[in-house]
């Protein structure tokens, strides 16, 4: 019996977007911190995962649900 070695591909998901993996040297927390410059709401996001499916390790950053402008206006009144 032979053993096959497979490399896991990491994917990072935030708010319906798949963010490119900056490299295996980065931990999921460091990836979150890196992308927080582009997506400031990630600064308070938690790391969910990784979840494994085949050769893919998916890490999710649950996003905040944005309130509609009408709902915000109603809350201000």
Whether 71 has a pLDDT exceeding 60, the answer reads no
Collapsing DSSP to helix, strand or coil, 23 comes out as coil
Please give the pLDDT value at position 7.
87
pLDDT one-digit tens code per residue, 14-66: 989 999 999 999 999 999 999 999 999 999 898 999 999 999 999 999 865 55
d(CA 17, CA 40): 15
Please give the pLDDT value at position 68.
47
The whole model's pTM is what?
0.72
């Amino acid at each position: 019996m032979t053993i096959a070695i497979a490399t896991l591909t990491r994917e990072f998901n935030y708010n319906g977007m798949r963010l490119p993996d900056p490299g295996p040297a980065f931990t999921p927390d460091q990836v979150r911190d890196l992308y927080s410059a582009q997506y400031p709401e990630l600064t308070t996001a938690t790391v969910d995962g990784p979840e494994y499916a085949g050769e893919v390790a998916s890490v999710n950053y649950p996003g905040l649900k944005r309130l509609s402008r009408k709902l915000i206006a109603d809350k201000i009144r």
